[in-house]
Amino acid sequence: MTSLAGKSVLLIVGGGIAAYKAHELVRLLKTRGATVRIILTKAAEQFVTPLSLSSLSGEKVYTSLFSLTDEIEMGHIQLSRSADLVVVAPATADLMAKMAHGLADDLASTALLATDKRVLAAPAMNVRMWSHAATERNVESLKHDGVSIVGPNEGEMACGEFGPGRMAEPNQILTAIVEMLKPRAQPLAGKKVLITAGPTREPIDPVRFISNHSSGKQGYAIAKAAAGLGAETVLVSGPVSLPIPPGVQVMPVETAQEMLDICEGEIPVDIAIFTAAVADWRVVTESSEKLKKTGGAAPNLTLAENPDILATIARSAKRPRIVVGFAAETEHVTEHAVQKLEKKGCDLIVANDVSRTSGVFGGDRNTVHLVSVSGVEDWPNMSKDEVAQKLMERLAQMLVPQQKAVE
Ligand code: CTP
């Protein structure tokens, strides 16, 4: 039984019939030695009482945003920051909608918006509410913001309907909590990782450019994983609309030349990973004025090849110890990747199929093949976050072989 001694959990109880299970969850957490502070929403007070929960937790239960004594004893900001983990159980449809939209109109939602800690939500609601498009959107947004979700389970509901929507059992929630509170190995502490991501934009005139469909998602996920393993992480990013991962330094760029200049300024590094979909060509002479239609022939754009950022860094005097390239291919995926490994001088190529039917560009999943001199390793279809985590753990092992990446 993993001890949670010294760990502090902020449990936010939403107003649903499953709120009664909060008692058992508090009991389990206390058995493991955790400190449990509890916030009840107004609706939750209709299902459970502060008295019963404070008897179990041995702590004051918080209910109101505007209680002066609470602000003196422990303000709502501190309440959310002093915890190691915030758990929302039950996470009602209403509470999740508030979380997804950043509303802060009561103590629970304010604490959730103010926290800098990881958040675990255990949804509980009627089956139709759970499958409603609005809830699906909200769950997606929460996952995107890094909120972990446990459950819901399928089964008979308090309202008599059957389907997914029952809150995960306290034991399941406890398992998820233990997993999230596990000390994380930091095998890349003291190491520097450089990552390129997103597309580049090569200007034609002040309003037009050459670019591509890269979303930057895989590169951002790798940066998040690298920072999570303790690396000083620099992400040189073309224009994308993604949040900056925690602990990552982002250097925004537009063109391939700018991306190369920044990368050259950042080396030496321990690991460099080139996920950017660099535009292969740029327009030789960018027009300083918007090109106008003349009613006749279309303008002729003279293109020049962009510098190869990966090959330049891989062959530089300050070569990173490990250089990883990505190969975006639409056919003969691994064959092309094997050629690129040699041509670009890198240690590893992560090859992926970006044909229209693969859904890789802009999608959240990826099927990759790891190509090195020792052969090709096919990875199963995974989320881009999982690919990132697995790749960074592998690179950490290559860099620091005596250490196991994850304990
Ligand atoms: N790359 C780079 N600079 C470039 C082009 C590509 O750093 N100017 C990097 C990419 O970030 C990726 C790898 O090289 O890691 C392979 O990119 P890809 O687009 O698959 O290959 P290309 O070199 O563009 O080759 P081709 O267009 O022939 O497939």
At 278, list the tokens.
Answer: 């660099």
Mutation pick for ligand 1 pocket among 264, 340, 353, 369 (CB with most ligand atoms within 8 Å): 340
The residue segments making up the domain with residue 59 are 8-181
**Residue entry with tokens 């389990």:** 28
Q: Which of 150, 181, 212 is the last residue of a domain?
A: 181
Q: Which alpha helices (DSSP H) does 34-92 contain, by range? A: 50-57, 68-73, 76-81
Report the pLDDT value the prediction gives residue 407, as an integer from 0 to 100: 41
Q: Are residues 260 and 123 in the same domain?
A: no
Q: Are residues 43 and 162 in the same domain?
A: yes
**Which residue's CA lies nearest to atom 21 of ligand 1?**
327
- Kindly give the distance from the C-alpha atom of residue 345 to the centroid of ligand 1, in angstroms, as a whole number: 12
- Kindly give the distance from the C-alpha atom of residue 214 to the centroid of ligand 1, in angstroms, as a whole number: 12
For Cα atoms 204, 208, 212, give the angle at the middle one, nearest 5 degrees: 95
Q: The domain spanning residue 349 has which CATH number? A: 3.40.50.10300
Residues taking part in catalysis: 159
d(CA 197, CA 33): 43
DSSP string, 291-318: ----SSSPPPPPEEEPP-HHHHHHTSTT
- Kindly give the distance from the C-alpha atom of residue 88 to the centroid of ligand 1, in angstroms, as a whole number: 44
Q: Residue 390 domain-assigned?
A: yes
**Residue entry with tokens 């590169």:** 219
Quick check: CB of 371 below 6 Å from ligand 1?
no
Residue type, 358: S
Q: Are residues 222 and 347 in the same domain?
A: yes
Check: CB of residue 404 under 8 Å from CB of residue 186: no
The CA-atom distances, in angstroms, between 290 and each of 100, 182, 203, 345, 398 are 41, 56, 11, 40, 50
d(CA 87, CA 90): 9
Q: The domain spanning residue 20 has which CATH number? A: 3.40.50.1950
Q: Are residues 330 and 286 in the same domain?
A: yes
Q: Are residues 98 and 26 in the same domain?
A: yes
d(CA 346, CA 252): 24
At 142, list the tokens.
Answer: 């929460």
Quick check: CB of 328 below 6 Å from ligand 1?
yes
- Kindly give the distance from the C-alpha atom of residue 330 to the centroid of ligand 1, in angstroms, as a whole number: 13
Count of the separate structural domains present in the chain: 2
Q: Residue 187 domain-assigned?
A: no
Quick check: CB of 272 below 6 Å from ligand 1?
no
Q: Are residues 153 and 247 in the same domain?
A: no
Quick check: CB of 341 below 6 Å from ligand 1?
no
Quick check: CB of 309 below 6 Å from ligand 1?
yes
Quick check: CB of 323 below 6 Å from ligand 1?
no
Q: Which neighbouring-strand residues pair with 234?
A: 194, 249
Mutation pick for ligand 1 pocket among 222, 235, 310 (CB with most ligand atoms within 8 Å): 310
Q: Are residues 213 and 167 in the same domain?
A: no
**Residue entry with tokens 């459970």:** 48
Summarised one tens digit per residue, pLDDT across range 84-109 is: 999 999 999 999 999 999 999 999 99
**Cβ count near 19 (within 10 Å):** 24
Closest by Cα among 380, 387, 404 to 226: 387
Q: Are residues 162 and 205 in the same domain?
A: no
Q: Residue 3 domain-assigned?
A: no
pTM score, whole prediction: 0.69
Q: Are residues 134 and 229 in the same domain?
A: no
Q: Are residues 158 and 256 in the same domain?
A: no
Q: Residue 1 domain-assigned?
A: no
CB under 8 Å to 371, separation ≥6 — which residues?
327, 334, 337, 338, 341, 348, 349, 350, 351, 377
Q: Are residues 135 and 267 in the same domain?
A: no
Per DSSP (E only), the strands in 83-166 are 85-91, 118-123, 148-149, 153-156, 162-166
Quick check: CB of 280 below 6 Å from ligand 1?
yes
Q: Are residues 43 and 136 in the same domain?
A: yes
Q: Which residues of the chain have pLDDT under 50?
A: 405-407
